[in-house]
Amino acid sequence: MLKAENLSVGYGNYVVVEGINLEINRGEILCIIGPNGAGKSTLLKTIATYLKPKKGVVYLNGKKIHDLKPKDLAKEMAVVLTERVNPGNMTGFDVVAIGRHPYTDLFGRLTERDKEIIIESARAVNAEYLLEKNFFEMSDGERQKIMIARALAQEPKVLILDEPTSFLDAKHKIELTLLLRKLADEKNLAIVVTLHDIELALRIADKMALIKNHKVIAYGYPENVMKREIVNELYDLKNANYSEVIGYFELKSNPIKNKKIFVICGGGTGANVLRYLVKNRYEVVVGILHKNDADYFIAEAMGVKIIEEEAYNKISKEKFEEALKELKNSDVVVYTDFPIGEMNELNLKLIEEAKNLKKRIIFYREDISVLKGV
Protein backbone atom coordinates (compact mmCIF):
# COMPACT_ATOMS: atom_id res chain seq x y z
CA MET A 1 0.00 0.00 0.00
CA LEU A 2 2.40 2.72 1.27
CA LYS A 3 6.09 1.93 1.22
CA ALA A 4 9.31 3.84 1.79
CA GLU A 5 12.51 2.35 0.38
CA ASN A 6 15.97 3.61 1.39
CA LEU A 7 14.40 7.00 1.98
CA SER A 8 16.40 9.98 3.19
CA VAL A 9 14.63 13.22 4.11
CA GLY A 10 15.68 16.76 4.93
CA TYR A 11 15.88 20.41 3.91
CA GLY A 12 18.26 22.01 1.42
CA ASN A 13 21.58 20.21 1.71
CA TYR A 14 20.81 18.93 5.21
CA VAL A 15 19.70 15.32 5.67
CA VAL A 16 17.54 14.92 8.78
CA VAL A 17 16.80 11.18 8.65
CA GLU A 18 18.32 8.62 6.30
CA GLY A 19 18.00 4.96 5.39
CA ILE A 20 14.25 4.75 6.11
CA ASN A 21 12.43 1.56 5.17
CA LEU A 22 8.77 1.43 6.19
CA GLU A 23 5.64 -0.29 4.96
CA ILE A 24 1.99 0.06 5.92
CA ASN A 25 -1.15 -1.56 4.56
CA ARG A 26 -4.79 -0.57 4.71
CA GLY A 27 -6.36 -1.11 8.13
CA GLU A 28 -3.02 -0.53 9.87
CA ILE A 29 -1.66 2.29 12.00
CA LEU A 30 2.01 3.20 11.94
CA CYS A 31 3.06 5.41 14.86
CA ILE A 32 6.31 7.35 14.58
CA ILE A 33 7.88 8.44 17.87
CA GLY A 34 11.10 10.08 18.94
CA PRO A 35 12.52 13.13 20.70
CA ASN A 36 11.79 16.64 19.48
CA GLY A 37 13.87 17.56 16.46
CA ALA A 38 14.47 13.95 15.48
CA GLY A 39 12.87 14.45 12.07
CA LYS A 40 9.40 12.95 12.54
CA SER A 41 7.58 15.87 10.91
CA THR A 42 10.13 16.06 8.10
CA LEU A 43 9.49 12.40 7.33
CA LEU A 44 5.73 12.92 7.29
CA LYS A 45 5.98 15.97 5.05
CA THR A 46 8.11 13.99 2.62
CA ILE A 47 5.62 11.11 2.56
CA ALA A 48 2.86 13.68 2.00
CA THR A 49 4.90 15.11 -0.94
CA TYR A 50 5.29 18.54 0.71
CA LEU A 51 9.04 17.86 0.51
CA LYS A 52 11.06 15.98 -2.06
CA PRO A 53 13.15 13.05 -0.81
CA LYS A 54 16.91 13.49 -0.62
CA LYS A 55 17.29 9.88 -1.59
CA GLY A 56 15.08 6.84 -2.07
CA VAL A 57 11.44 6.45 -3.05
CA VAL A 58 7.97 6.47 -1.50
CA TYR A 59 5.47 4.21 -3.25
CA LEU A 60 1.69 4.35 -3.07
CA ASN A 61 0.07 1.25 -4.54
CA GLY A 62 3.25 0.58 -6.47
CA LYS A 63 3.46 4.08 -7.97
CA LYS A 64 6.06 6.68 -7.06
CA ILE A 65 4.09 9.07 -4.88
CA HIS A 66 6.08 12.16 -5.88
CA ASP A 67 5.19 11.54 -9.55
CA LEU A 68 1.42 11.64 -8.93
CA LYS A 69 -0.58 14.71 -9.90
CA PRO A 70 -1.80 16.65 -6.84
CA LYS A 71 -5.48 16.13 -7.66
CA ASP A 72 -4.97 12.38 -8.11
CA LEU A 73 -2.94 12.15 -4.90
CA ALA A 74 -5.65 14.06 -3.00
CA LYS A 75 -8.09 11.24 -3.79
CA GLU A 76 -5.68 8.70 -2.32
CA MET A 77 -4.11 10.53 0.63
CA ALA A 78 -5.26 13.13 3.15
CA VAL A 79 -2.99 15.09 5.49
CA VAL A 80 -3.64 16.75 8.86
CA LEU A 81 -0.65 18.77 10.07
CA THR A 82 -0.06 20.13 13.55
CA GLU A 83 -0.13 23.80 12.58
CA ARG A 84 -3.13 25.74 13.84
CA VAL A 85 -5.41 26.96 11.06
CA ASN A 86 -7.52 30.10 10.93
CA PRO A 87 -10.30 29.80 8.35
CA GLY A 88 -12.04 32.99 9.46
CA ASN A 89 -15.79 32.77 9.88
CA MET A 90 -16.16 29.40 8.20
CA THR A 91 -18.43 26.87 9.84
CA GLY A 92 -17.53 23.29 10.51
CA PHE A 93 -19.45 22.34 7.37
CA ASP A 94 -17.44 24.81 5.29
CA VAL A 95 -14.13 23.43 6.57
CA VAL A 96 -15.09 19.78 6.00
CA ALA A 97 -16.36 20.75 2.52
CA ILE A 98 -12.80 21.72 1.56
CA GLY A 99 -12.08 18.01 1.53
CA ARG A 100 -14.39 17.61 -1.46
CA HIS A 101 -12.30 19.97 -3.60
CA PRO A 102 -10.64 17.16 -5.62
CA TYR A 103 -14.11 16.02 -6.73
CA THR A 104 -15.90 19.30 -7.45
CA ASP A 105 -16.19 21.16 -10.75
CA LEU A 106 -14.30 24.32 -11.71
CA PHE A 107 -16.64 26.45 -9.62
CA GLY A 108 -16.33 24.26 -6.53
CA ARG A 109 -20.04 23.45 -6.49
CA LEU A 110 -21.17 20.69 -4.14
CA THR A 111 -23.50 17.98 -5.34
CA GLU A 112 -25.99 16.27 -3.06
CA ARG A 113 -23.57 13.36 -2.90
CA ASP A 114 -20.79 15.71 -1.79
CA LYS A 115 -23.03 17.04 0.99
CA GLU A 116 -23.84 13.51 2.11
CA ILE A 117 -20.14 12.66 2.31
CA ILE A 118 -19.45 15.82 4.34
CA ILE A 119 -22.10 14.83 6.87
CA GLU A 120 -20.92 11.20 6.92
CA SER A 121 -17.33 12.34 7.51
CA ALA A 122 -18.38 14.52 10.44
CA ARG A 123 -20.48 11.69 11.84
CA ALA A 124 -17.51 9.30 11.61
CA VAL A 125 -15.56 11.49 14.06
CA ASN A 126 -18.55 12.29 16.29
CA ALA A 127 -18.59 15.89 15.06
CA GLU A 128 -21.91 16.18 13.26
CA TYR A 129 -23.06 18.64 15.93
CA LEU A 130 -20.21 20.97 14.93
CA LEU A 131 -21.20 21.45 11.30
CA GLU A 132 -23.15 24.64 11.99
CA LYS A 133 -20.71 26.02 14.55
CA ASN A 134 -18.11 28.65 13.62
CA PHE A 135 -14.65 27.13 13.52
CA PHE A 136 -13.08 29.92 15.62
CA GLU A 137 -15.63 29.23 18.41
CA MET A 138 -14.62 25.59 18.73
CA SER A 139 -12.31 24.09 21.34
CA ASP A 140 -8.99 22.59 20.25
CA GLY A 141 -10.49 19.11 20.47
CA GLU A 142 -13.46 20.09 18.35
CA ARG A 143 -11.24 21.76 15.75
CA GLN A 144 -9.11 18.64 15.48
CA LYS A 145 -12.20 16.54 14.87
CA ILE A 146 -13.31 18.88 12.09
CA MET A 147 -9.86 18.78 10.48
CA ILE A 148 -9.92 14.98 10.49
CA ALA A 149 -13.46 15.04 9.11
CA ARG A 150 -12.19 17.30 6.33
CA ALA A 151 -9.49 14.74 5.56
CA LEU A 152 -12.05 11.93 5.53
CA ALA A 153 -14.22 13.90 3.11
CA GLN A 154 -11.45 13.38 0.55
CA GLU A 155 -12.32 9.65 0.74
CA PRO A 156 -8.63 8.78 1.09
CA LYS A 157 -7.04 5.39 1.48
CA VAL A 158 -4.13 6.85 3.46
CA LEU A 159 -4.37 9.35 6.33
CA ILE A 160 -1.27 11.25 7.50
CA LEU A 161 -1.38 13.07 10.85
CA ASP A 162 1.41 15.06 12.48
CA GLU A 163 1.06 15.30 16.28
CA PRO A 164 -2.77 15.43 16.20
CA THR A 165 -2.96 15.48 20.03
CA SER A 166 -0.53 18.39 20.52
CA PHE A 167 -3.04 20.97 21.82
CA LEU A 168 -5.48 18.57 23.46
CA ASP A 169 -6.22 17.80 27.11
CA ALA A 170 -6.05 14.23 28.45
CA LYS A 171 -9.69 13.41 27.67
CA HIS A 172 -9.48 14.57 24.07
CA LYS A 173 -6.11 12.89 23.55
CA ILE A 174 -7.60 9.55 24.51
CA GLU A 175 -10.73 10.20 22.48
CA LEU A 176 -8.75 11.13 19.38
CA THR A 177 -6.34 8.20 19.53
CA LEU A 178 -9.22 5.76 19.96
CA LEU A 179 -10.89 7.46 17.00
CA LEU A 180 -7.84 6.73 14.85
CA ARG A 181 -8.06 3.05 15.73
CA LYS A 182 -11.76 3.09 14.83
CA LEU A 183 -11.06 4.75 11.47
CA ALA A 184 -8.36 2.23 10.59
CA ASP A 185 -10.70 -0.63 11.39
CA GLU A 186 -14.02 0.66 10.05
CA LYS A 187 -12.82 2.80 7.13
CA ASN A 188 -9.96 0.43 6.26
CA LEU A 189 -7.52 3.34 6.24
CA ALA A 190 -3.76 3.14 6.35
CA ILE A 191 -2.81 5.71 9.00
CA VAL A 192 0.63 7.19 9.60
CA VAL A 193 0.78 9.34 12.73
CA THR A 194 3.40 10.98 14.94
CA LEU A 195 2.58 10.94 18.65
CA HIS A 196 4.30 12.13 21.82
CA ASP A 197 2.28 9.93 24.17
CA ILE A 198 3.91 6.50 24.12
CA GLU A 199 1.21 4.94 26.28
CA LEU A 200 -1.52 5.89 23.79
CA ALA A 201 0.62 4.97 20.79
CA LEU A 202 1.12 1.48 22.16
CA ARG A 203 -2.63 0.99 22.52
CA ILE A 204 -3.47 1.75 18.89
CA ALA A 205 -0.37 1.06 16.78
CA ASP A 206 0.12 -1.95 14.55
CA LYS A 207 3.68 -0.84 13.83
CA MET A 208 6.09 1.59 15.46
CA ALA A 209 9.06 3.47 14.06
CA LEU A 210 11.51 4.98 16.56
CA ILE A 211 13.64 7.83 15.21
CA LYS A 212 16.84 9.20 16.75
CA ASN A 213 20.22 10.47 15.57
CA HIS A 214 19.18 10.75 11.92
CA LYS A 215 17.96 7.18 11.58
CA VAL A 216 15.21 4.72 12.46
CA ILE A 217 16.69 2.87 15.44
CA ALA A 218 13.81 0.37 15.67
CA TYR A 219 10.84 -0.57 13.49
CA GLY A 220 8.20 -3.28 13.72
CA TYR A 221 5.44 -4.52 15.97
CA PRO A 222 5.32 -2.37 19.11
CA GLU A 223 5.31 -5.51 21.23
CA ASN A 224 8.68 -6.41 19.69
CA VAL A 225 10.47 -3.07 19.48
CA MET A 226 9.31 -1.22 22.61
CA LYS A 227 11.90 -2.65 24.97
CA ARG A 228 13.45 -0.88 27.95
CA GLU A 229 16.96 -0.56 26.52
CA ILE A 230 15.64 0.81 23.22
CA VAL A 231 13.16 3.30 24.69
CA ASN A 232 15.58 4.46 27.39
CA GLU A 233 18.15 5.08 24.65
CA LEU A 234 15.57 6.82 22.45
CA TYR A 235 14.89 9.48 25.10
CA ASP A 236 18.29 9.40 26.85
CA LEU A 237 16.60 8.50 30.11
CA LYS A 238 18.72 8.81 33.24
CA ASN A 239 16.19 9.26 36.05
CA ALA A 240 13.43 6.96 34.80
CA ASN A 241 13.00 3.52 33.30
CA TYR A 242 10.62 2.40 30.59
CA SER A 243 8.71 -0.77 31.44
CA GLU A 244 7.35 -2.84 28.58
CA VAL A 245 5.00 -4.61 31.00
CA ILE A 246 3.41 -1.37 32.19
CA GLY A 247 3.83 0.35 28.83
CA TYR A 248 5.13 3.55 30.37
CA PHE A 249 7.84 5.06 32.57
CA GLU A 250 8.59 4.79 36.26
CA LEU A 251 10.88 7.16 38.17
CA LYS A 252 14.11 5.57 39.33
CA SER A 253 14.63 5.43 43.06
CA ASN A 254 17.04 8.15 44.20
CA PRO A 255 16.65 8.40 47.98
CA ILE A 256 17.88 11.42 49.91
CA LYS A 257 15.76 11.16 53.06
CA ASN A 258 17.25 9.41 56.04
CA LYS A 259 14.34 7.06 56.50
CA LYS A 260 13.90 3.50 55.27
CA ILE A 261 10.40 2.26 54.40
CA PHE A 262 9.55 -1.43 54.13
CA VAL A 263 6.48 -2.01 51.94
CA ILE A 264 4.45 -5.21 52.14
CA CYS A 265 2.13 -5.34 49.17
CA GLY A 266 0.97 -7.37 46.19
CA GLY A 267 -1.50 -7.63 43.35
CA GLY A 268 -1.01 -4.02 42.27
CA THR A 269 -2.13 -2.59 45.63
CA GLY A 270 1.32 -1.14 46.23
CA ALA A 271 1.58 0.84 42.98
CA ASN A 272 0.49 4.19 44.40
CA VAL A 273 2.46 3.66 47.60
CA LEU A 274 5.68 2.90 45.73
CA ARG A 275 5.22 5.86 43.38
CA TYR A 276 4.57 8.23 46.30
CA LEU A 277 7.59 7.05 48.28
CA VAL A 278 9.99 7.05 45.31
CA LYS A 279 8.75 10.45 44.16
CA ASN A 280 9.38 11.82 47.65
CA ARG A 281 12.81 10.17 47.64
CA TYR A 282 12.55 7.75 50.53
CA GLU A 283 14.67 4.62 50.66
CA VAL A 284 12.28 1.78 49.84
CA VAL A 285 12.43 -1.98 50.26
CA VAL A 286 9.49 -4.05 49.07
CA GLY A 287 8.58 -7.69 49.61
CA ILE A 288 7.90 -10.43 49.54
CA LEU A 289 6.78 -10.25 45.92
CA HIS A 290 6.42 -12.99 43.35
CA LYS A 291 8.13 -12.25 40.04
CA ASN A 292 4.81 -12.26 38.18
CA ASP A 293 3.12 -9.78 40.53
CA ALA A 294 2.01 -6.38 39.19
CA ASP A 295 3.78 -4.63 42.07
CA TYR A 296 6.97 -6.50 41.22
CA PHE A 297 7.10 -5.00 37.72
CA ILE A 298 6.56 -1.48 39.06
CA ALA A 299 9.19 -1.87 41.81
CA GLU A 300 11.66 -3.45 39.38
CA ALA A 301 11.32 -0.52 36.96
CA MET A 302 11.95 1.87 39.86
CA GLY A 303 15.09 0.06 40.88
CA VAL A 304 14.08 -0.29 44.54
CA LYS A 305 15.28 -3.27 46.50
CA ILE A 306 12.90 -6.22 46.17
CA ILE A 307 12.72 -9.36 48.25
CA GLU A 308 11.44 -11.62 45.49
CA GLU A 309 10.17 -15.14 45.12
CA GLU A 310 9.88 -17.15 41.92
CA ALA A 311 6.48 -17.05 40.24
CA TYR A 312 4.02 -19.73 41.39
CA ASN A 313 6.29 -20.78 44.26
CA LYS A 314 5.24 -20.65 47.88
CA ILE A 315 7.30 -18.06 49.77
CA SER A 316 10.29 -19.89 51.16
CA LYS A 317 11.70 -19.66 54.67
CA GLU A 318 14.92 -18.19 53.21
CA LYS A 319 13.03 -15.34 51.54
CA PHE A 320 11.07 -14.72 54.71
CA GLU A 321 14.28 -14.44 56.74
CA GLU A 322 15.76 -12.08 54.14
CA ALA A 323 12.65 -9.89 54.31
CA LEU A 324 12.61 -9.97 58.10
CA LYS A 325 16.21 -8.73 58.20
CA GLU A 326 15.26 -5.76 56.00
CA LEU A 327 12.16 -5.10 58.05
CA LYS A 328 14.19 -4.96 61.27
CA ASN A 329 16.42 -2.31 59.70
CA SER A 330 13.48 -0.24 58.51
CA ASP A 331 11.98 2.82 60.20
CA VAL A 332 8.42 2.39 58.98
CA VAL A 333 6.39 -0.53 57.62
CA VAL A 334 3.62 0.09 55.10
CA TYR A 335 1.08 -2.69 54.63
CA THR A 336 -1.45 -2.59 51.82
CA ASP A 337 -4.76 -4.38 51.71
CA PHE A 338 -3.87 -7.15 49.26
CA PRO A 339 -5.15 -10.71 48.72
CA ILE A 340 -3.48 -13.36 50.86
CA GLY A 341 -3.36 -17.02 49.89
CA GLU A 342 -1.25 -20.08 50.47
CA MET A 343 1.53 -18.82 48.21
CA ASN A 344 2.12 -15.51 50.02
CA GLU A 345 0.78 -16.10 53.53
CA LEU A 346 4.20 -15.56 55.11
CA ASN A 347 3.67 -11.86 54.40
CA LEU A 348 1.14 -11.89 57.25
CA LYS A 349 3.86 -13.21 59.53
CA LEU A 350 5.98 -10.20 58.54
CA ILE A 351 3.23 -7.94 59.89
CA GLU A 352 3.15 -9.90 63.14
CA GLU A 353 6.92 -9.53 63.47
CA ALA A 354 6.63 -5.78 62.81
CA LYS A 355 4.11 -5.53 65.66
CA ASN A 356 6.38 -7.53 67.97
CA LEU A 357 9.25 -5.22 67.11
CA LYS A 358 6.98 -2.25 67.84
CA LYS A 359 7.60 -0.84 64.40
CA ARG A 360 5.45 2.01 63.18
CA ILE A 361 2.96 0.35 60.83
CA ILE A 362 0.88 2.27 58.31
CA PHE A 363 -2.11 0.48 56.83
CA TYR A 364 -2.80 1.76 53.32
CA ARG A 365 -6.02 1.12 51.45
CA GLU A 366 -7.00 4.00 49.19
CA ASP A 367 -5.99 7.30 50.80
CA ILE A 368 -2.37 8.19 50.04
CA SER A 369 -2.44 10.97 52.66
CA VAL A 370 -1.79 8.34 55.35
CA LEU A 371 1.80 8.35 54.09
CA LYS A 372 2.29 12.09 54.47
CA GLY A 373 5.28 12.72 56.67
CA VAL A 374 6.17 9.05 57.11
Q: pLDDT band for position 36 (50/70/90)?
A: confident
Cβ proximity of 254 and 305 under 8 Å: no
Checking DSSP bridges between strand 207-212 and strand 215-220, what pairing results, if any?
antiparallel
Q: What is the dihedral of CA 274, 280, 285, 290, to 10 degrees?
A: 10
What pLDDT score was predicted for residue 140?
85
Percent of all residues in the chain with a pLDDT value above 70, rounded to a whole number: 98
Average per-residue pLDDT for the chain: 91
Dmax over CA atoms of the chain, in Å, equals 88
| DSSP character string of 161-195 | EESTTTT--HHHHHHHHHHHHHHHHHS--EEEEE-
Residue 12 has pLDDT above 90, yes or no: no
- The more confidently predicted of residues 137 and 85 is 137
Residue 88 has pLDDT above 80, yes or no: no
Distance CA 235, CA 251 (A): 14
Q: pLDDT band for position 366 (50/70/90)?
A: confident
Least confident of 101-105, 140-144, 247-251, 262-266: 101-105
Look up residue 111 and give its DSSP letter.
Answer: P
Q: What is the pLDDT averaged over residues 111-133?
A: 93
What pLDDT score was predicted for residue 241?
94
Residue 85 has pLDDT above 70, yes or no: no
Query: pLDDT tens digits, residue range 238-258?
Result: 899 999 888 889 999 999 988
Q: What is the pLDDT averaged over residues 274-290?
A: 95
What pLDDT score was predicted for residue 224?
92
Q: pLDDT band for position 295 (50/70/90)?
A: very high
Residue 65 has pLDDT above 80, yes or no: yes
What pLDDT score was predicted for residue 81?
85
For domain 2-236, give the CATH number.
3.40.50.300
Q: pLDDT band for position 84 (50/70/90)?
A: low
Residues making up the chain, counted from first to last: 374
Look up residue 313 and give its DSSP letter.
Answer: P
Distance CA 103, CA 214 (A): 39
As a whole number of Å, the end-to-end CA separation of the chain is 58
Residue 204 has pLDDT above 70, yes or no: yes
- Which part of the chain is CATH 3.40.50.300? 2-236
Query: pLDDT tens digits, residue range 305-364?
Result: 999 999 999 999 999 999 999 999 999 999 998 988 889 999 999 999 999 999 999 999
CATH class of 249-371: alpha beta
Q: pLDDT band for position 105 (50/70/90)?
A: confident
Measured CA distances, 373 to 139, 280, 369 (Å): 41, 10, 9
Measured CA distances, 234 to 223, 227, 309 (Å): 16, 10, 32
Residue 24: phi and psi, rounded to 5, are -145, 140
- Which part of the chain is CATH 3.40.50.1220? 249-371
pTM of the predicted structure, to 2 decimals: 0.86
Query: pLDDT tens digits, residue range 137-196?
Result: 998 888 889 999 999 999 999 999 998 887 788 888 888 888 899 999 999 999 999 988
What pLDDT score was predicted for residue 13?
85
Percent of all residues in the chain with a pLDDT value above 90, rounded to a whole number: 71
